[in-house]
Structure 1
């Protein structure tokens, strides 16, 4: 967990881009061999959850020993065909095609739908959407010619966002249960210290799948007739024979396909072809053999249902048992890390898209998982709560992908309808089965997911209020300083409605004495560089307006900078910065820094060099800044807006504002991971009445 946090917290934008594109570079460099290398690496990363399911699936299905062999054949047939239809066909060969420039997960689907509908994440410039629509070896991208139903209907946009956030909340709640249920099922009744897995994850995972296949073949050899379970007839016969009472078994079968959403979310670390190779040739055969072997032993000895995996080993007291036990324990730890990795990816994306506050995810995960383990105590108790999240998010992904088929792939509506009917029916059946267990434990997952959804919506709502306030109260420098150049003032007034503070073409730069408008009080220019950050990409930051009226002094080099997330995973360095000179004011610049939703914002020394270099390209007089950059004092001024309720606000709005304020107080500062010295930061507090 610590290693993941270090990567998450400390990597800058450049390192992050190299890390995410590493897998794609291997593939491009070595071609087919590169895909095989990536396929080998996927085994230790994305199949941990689904790979440890054989530990508890049959034990969850048969709480009592099966009295009729046909029940074993029927449930086994359901497991095999569920593995084939959901992970194999739906995810590995269909949904993985909806990658967002190599990234997967619910936010990737939302990003695709947003930019193909012409919807920026925030109100910004059209050039952001041009960048977002560039084709980077992903699905076919294009600029939106005619507004589709998503662009035209605000209600659909809100529903779509809530859908995505709820799906993300479900995956995050799944991320809390996976480590608990996997590790508990492996170490039930015994605890051993886990060795370091830093360099052994892939070999251990390979050994685990080989063990599953080998044990499965050994068990099948005792009852080869179990291979009849490949016939889907036994699945249908099971439902016909048992009637409505058999519907609950789907909740147990669902446990065999958990981890598919983590598989989709982890796509960005590899590529689609490598996942297709590894699942088809390695994961799927191993899992199928494991379940067939367990089914074969269940037919011969129904009593092994008490703990099917461990009681069907070749030996229960010899070295084979203990070797498998150690492998299982290590495999479940790897499965937990894989789910945690997917959780971190989603959390980072949510933070970048203003849907979550900056949180110490490691400590929250650790505390939550420990509480879950203590509360539920046994893996059998956890399996009830586990399935609700998995089934719900699968159904949400199916609905979102059906929309992607029409909006992104431009296929006929009938294709989306067929996809939705087939896979929506399957997902709906699984979800209905798990909802029957809400009272006995499934409520826990729904509670966690709804709570996370509430936090996301409140945070998004509060952040949007701040953004709208800044847009409504945008200010130009001419509204603050008295102008010594009437011609300039007249020219700038013509562009008052512009989204940015635009320079005047052909106007000579004049080093004027800054004076406050109205009072005429002189404003001193102090040595150094000052970066004033703002939420919206328009006008002067509110923090600057508030600052200058109380302290009439500004740095010699004045930079108004906006950090703007755009709906792509990564932004190329050529598109990172937009730099403009502000009118006739000398050494005053407007800057927009673009970041994709998988990138960490970096504002350290390397960023400053790139920024000043970009400024020098548009203003030759600034070259002296670059020459003396190491000796320049750089100050980062960041606005800290606090939302307060108006006297006539309704009770619900006051409650929401108090909740948002609580989240702000208990979250990390926005600049916490920017790698800038804390001593160089100045916060300017502003109260906003809404």
Structure 2
């Protein structure tokens, strides 16, 4: 007898181990190649006191342990939002658990994706986030700034990694120096072109290379440690405190170099959606943390014996046997190129999350895996990022010009993550407030020290990252501002589907004075549309007559269980009401695919003839399609629940123009008395809106049968 449950568990374990292996090639390239530069970046001159080497090694080891291993791998990763990580995930968690809308409307807390996630217990009353609009705005602003900095980091990491690797060829052959930037640009272009194959396939290609890299640095570390085993004493945190006590301000400045050992952790959390919490918690402690500790320990051991090796610590502590040296060199070049992948994947994840929260214009999302929802590819972002990265390479030319701008963004993001997680511990995890205070005191102290040290780089080039982050924050804030107002306007102007149609009795003034049944549509302007007969004219109390024409009218709603403004605007401007009115709401769920049985949920709107509410569900890896095949399935579902409707027969003619697709397009406009700053915000928002992808762009709607109904929203 086959144990199906054991088979599923075994398959799950194998899948997790497979993801753990693939994660090595995606999210650890940055932190894994830091040993190439850390000691050289810390010591500008050879250390004259061996205690300095002990102190620096102690700081590196404990930074990796406290910040990366404990904080991120075992604490921060637990604050995922339905498998997604990053600052937006933390914001979404806090919003829902505070009973706040995350998309600017009141009904989005029960989205299919999150319907099983509990929100704040109303019996306890609103928490401090719910009670204060100021706190909510500050929270959103901090999240937008942190996410923008990570995206800005995604623009800097690829050129730094690739240029620093390619520069190595100029050491034995100085004549190749002019070719460094062109070769770097070619490599980067090929890297971005490979993104279309998906994170999983790219990870399968990169993981063996990075794994060999970690094996190589582990071997080098052990070989160096064997020459001075006493270096293990540096694991005692006493040497870290002693380092600061002796060097004072200089020791604080050196934190900027020590911080390079932990850069890349922001990608570890942001890339969570591409893998899983379990896979990362397996891969980092066993395959990344130990090799890093050993290679840094080995470098420190050699520096104690020969401080002059600080000029190029990694390569001068690598065995000089030609066969070994050049193999390590090739692996190093490949590893530094691959390290760019972590930030590219993180940028995709953050943009996808920001779109879900209406903080980023719509772009095309391609899901590249049927097993992991978070593995995505965004063509527009990929090619835009590729062009910008190439421009950065051409402008900065040398890696040393980029390094001075690097680290500021990471330090800011780490500090923001600590602030948000402190609130999550209390609001979401419902732990005692003392736990939040202890976490904050420990990690904010560490993060603030790193941030203070890296802020000294601002004048030397860190301004580039900050300016980029501020520009992205402004853009996302304006998009959120405009989109929220559109959503609120549409929701405030349209009643629920179950309330718009009401059956009532009217007295017909015919010869027989018979009492007839009719149906009433209550509109926002208090006009009543009386459906006197299924096939006859429809009158309105302001003397406008609407005719029910043959065919189907599909009205698409982007606001859930509400009548879209496109419907009310349509019947105001066209004296026609289709014989079959269908309100469609499309949802994307967390399963990769949806079966035909679960695809459609069709409801008749009260007793109104020929009027239906339809929810259409698609899996995250499916392409939304509203073509003829969908219409056939829709008509079959309607016939099952409403056999009285004889107009939707199996031989319905789709080619005679009787099917009309109606979508709404809202536009913000300034009131005559609006302040000047509102006029500017509206102009910027509309410029972005008119040049961005519409929500129905890839649905396969036939152009000749699609009607776009515009609505102006005064601000």
- Pair in the same fold by TM > 0.5: yes
Corresponding residue for residue 78 of structure 2: 97
Structure 2 CA distance, aligned partners of 1:184 and 1:241?
36
Of 661, 669, 672, which residue of structure 1 is paired with 2:686? 661
Would the aligned equivalents of 2:532 and 2:538 in 1 still touch at CA under 8 Å? Answer: no
Would the aligned equivalents of 1:609 and 1:626 in 2 still touch at CA under 8 Å? Answer: no
Structure 2 CA distance, aligned partners of 1:489 and 1:643?
37
Corresponding residue for residue 71 of structure 1: 52
Would the aligned equivalents of 2:603 and 2:614 in 1 still touch at CA under 8 Å? Answer: yes
Would the aligned equivalents of 2:409 and 2:466 in 1 still touch at CA under 8 Å? Answer: yes
Matched, 1:334 2:347: no
Secondary structure of 1:686's counterpart equals strand
Deviations 1:282-334 (A, max 9, x none): 11001111212222233333343333323332128x23333223222322332
Secondary structure of 1:668's counterpart equals coil
Question: Structure 1 residues 341 and 526 mapped into 2: Cα distance closer, same or farther (>3 Å)?
Answer: farther
Secondary structure of 1:63's counterpart equals coil
Secondary structure of 2:27's counterpart equals coil
Structure 1 CA distance, aligned partners of 2:501 and 2:698?
34
Matched, 1:407 2:427: yes
Secondary structure of 1:431's counterpart equals helix
TM-score (norm 1): 0.84
Structure 2 CA distance, aligned partners of 1:619 and 1:278?
55
Task: Using the TM superposition, name which of 454-463 and 52-61 deviates more.
Answer: 52-61
- What displacement does 1:226 show? 2.5
Task: Using the TM superposition, name which of 511-520 and 224-233 deviates more.
Answer: 511-520
Would the aligned equivalents of 1:44 and 1:203 in 2 still touch at CA under 8 Å? Answer: yes
Question: Structure 1 residues 611 and 224 mapped into 2: Cα distance closer, same or farther (>3 Å)?
Answer: farther
Question: Structure 1 residues 153 and 564 mapped into 2: Cα distance closer, same or farther (>3 Å)?
Answer: farther
Corresponding residue for residue 239 of structure 1: 244
Deviations 1:141-177 (A, max 9, x none): 6754432222222222222222222221121112111
Structure 2 CA distance, aligned partners of 1:471 and 1:117?
21
Corresponding residue for residue 544 of structure 1: 567
Question: Structure 1 residues 160 and 321 mapped into 2: Cα distance closer, same or farther (>3 Å)?
Answer: same
Of 99, 107, 117, which residue of structure 2 is paired with 1:118? 99
Matched, 1:308 2:332: no
Question: Structure 1 residues 299 and 477 mapped into 2: Cα distance closer, same or farther (>3 Å)?
Answer: closer
Structure 2 CA distance, aligned partners of 1:130 and 1:678?
30
Secondary structure of 2:26's counterpart equals coil
Matched, 1:172 2:172: no
Of 471, 482, 494, which residue of structure 2 is paired with 1:474? 494
Matches within 5 A, 1:617-636: 618-621=641-644, 625=648, 627=650, 631=654, 635-636=660-661
Task: Using the TM superposition, name which of 545-554 and 55-64 deviates more.
Answer: 545-554
Question: Structure 1 residues 427 and 479 mapped into 2: Cα distance closer, same or farther (>3 Å)?
Answer: closer
Of 645, 663, 684, which residue of structure 1 is paired with 2:709? 684
Structure 1 CA distance, aligned partners of 2:497 and 2:121?
34
Would the aligned equivalents of 1:186 and 1:325 in 2 still touch at CA under 8 Å? Answer: no
Matched, 1:602 2:641: no
TM-score (norm 2): 0.81
Structure 2 CA distance, aligned partners of 1:295 and 1:448?
36
Matches within 5 A, 1:533-572: 533-537=556-560, 540-562=563-585
Question: Structure 1 residues 669 and 647 mapped into 2: Cα distance closer, same or farther (>3 Å)?
Answer: same
Corresponding residue for residue 7 of structure 1: none
Matched, 1:589 2:594: no
Matched, 1:152 2:131: yes
Would the aligned equivalents of 1:480 and 1:517 in 2 still touch at CA under 8 Å? Answer: no
Corresponding residue for residue 670 of structure 1: 695
Matches within 5 A, 1:379-390: 379-390=399-410
| Aligned-residue CA RMSD (Å) | 3.9
Larger strand share, 1 or 2: 2
Structure 1 residues without counterparts, runs of 5 or longer: 1-24, 499-506
Matched, 1:217 2:222: yes
Deviations 1:13-47 (A, max 9, x none): xxxxxxxxxxxx99844354544333223212222
Structure 1 CA distance, aligned partners of 2:7 and 2:263?
29
Would the aligned equivalents of 1:115 and 1:132 in 2 still touch at CA under 8 Å? Answer: no
Secondary structure of 2:580's counterpart equals strand
Deviations 1:639-662 (A, max 9, x none): 222212122111111111111122
Corresponding residue for residue 173 of structure 2: none
Matches within 5 A, 1:355-394: 355-359=359-363, 360-394=380-414
Structure 1 CA distance, aligned partners of 2:12 and 2:502?
63
Structure 2 CA distance, aligned partners of 1:335 and 1:377?
19
Structure 1 CA distance, aligned partners of 2:653 and 2:7?
37
Of structures 1 and 2, the larger Rg is shown by 2
Would the aligned equivalents of 1:133 and 1:143 in 2 still touch at CA under 8 Å? Answer: no
Secondary structure of 1:683's counterpart equals strand
Question: Structure 1 residues 646 and 33 mapped into 2: Cα distance closer, same or farther (>3 Å)?
Answer: closer
Question: Structure 1 residues 179 and 476 mapped into 2: Cα distance closer, same or farther (>3 Å)?
Answer: closer
Question: Structure 1 residues 630 and 87 mapped into 2: Cα distance closer, same or farther (>3 Å)?
Answer: farther
Task: Using the TM superposition, name which of 518-527 and 80-89 deviates more.
Answer: 518-527
Would the aligned equivalents of 1:571 and 1:594 in 2 still touch at CA under 8 Å? Answer: no
Of 536, 542, 548, which residue of structure 2 is paired with 1:518? 542
- What displacement does 1:613 show? 6.0
Task: Using the TM superposition, name which of 153-162 and 444-453 deviates more.
Answer: 153-162
Matched, 1:87 2:68: yes
- What displacement does 1:444 show? 1.2
Q: Matched residue pairs, number?
A: 651
Corresponding residue for residue 39 of structure 1: 20
Secondary structure of 1:104's counterpart equals coil
Corresponding residue for residue 652 of structure 1: 677
Task: Using the TM superposition, name which of 336-345 and 447-456 deviates more.
Answer: 336-345
Task: Using the TM superposition, name which of 114-123 and 617-626 deviates more.
Answer: 617-626
Corresponding residue for residue 347 of structure 2: 343
Structure 2 residues without counterparts, runs of 5 or longer: 1-5, 170-179, 195-200, 364-379, 507-515
Task: Using the TM superposition, name which of 350-359 and 556-565 deviates more.
Answer: 556-565
Would the aligned equivalents of 1:603 and 1:675 in 2 still touch at CA under 8 Å? Answer: yes
Would the aligned equivalents of 1:100 and 1:112 in 2 still touch at CA under 8 Å? Answer: yes
Would the aligned equivalents of 2:35 and 2:296 in 1 still touch at CA under 8 Å? Answer: yes
Structure 1 CA distance, aligned partners of 2:9 and 2:72?
24
Deviations 1:651-678 (A, max 9, x none): 1111111111221233223333445555
Structure 1 CA distance, aligned partners of 2:683 and 2:615?
31
- What displacement does 1:416 show? 0.6
Question: Structure 1 residues 551 and 237 mapped into 2: Cα distance closer, same or farther (>3 Å)?
Answer: same
Secondary structure of 1:437's counterpart equals helix
Secondary structure of 1:356's counterpart equals coil
Structure 2 CA distance, aligned partners of 1:57 and 1:674?
50
- What displacement does 1:601 show? 7.7
Structure 1 CA distance, aligned partners of 2:314 and 2:473?
36
Structure 2 CA distance, aligned partners of 1:178 and 1:618?
56
Task: Using the TM superposition, name which of 175-184 and 444-453 deviates more.
Answer: 175-184
Matches within 5 A, 1:20-35: 28-30=9-11, 32-35=13-16
Secondary structure of 1:636's counterpart equals strand
Structure 2 CA distance, aligned partners of 1:417 and 1:571?
43
- What displacement does 1:535 show? 4.2
Structure 2 CA distance, aligned partners of 1:677 and 1:133?
33
Structure 2 CA distance, aligned partners of 1:514 and 1:582?
18
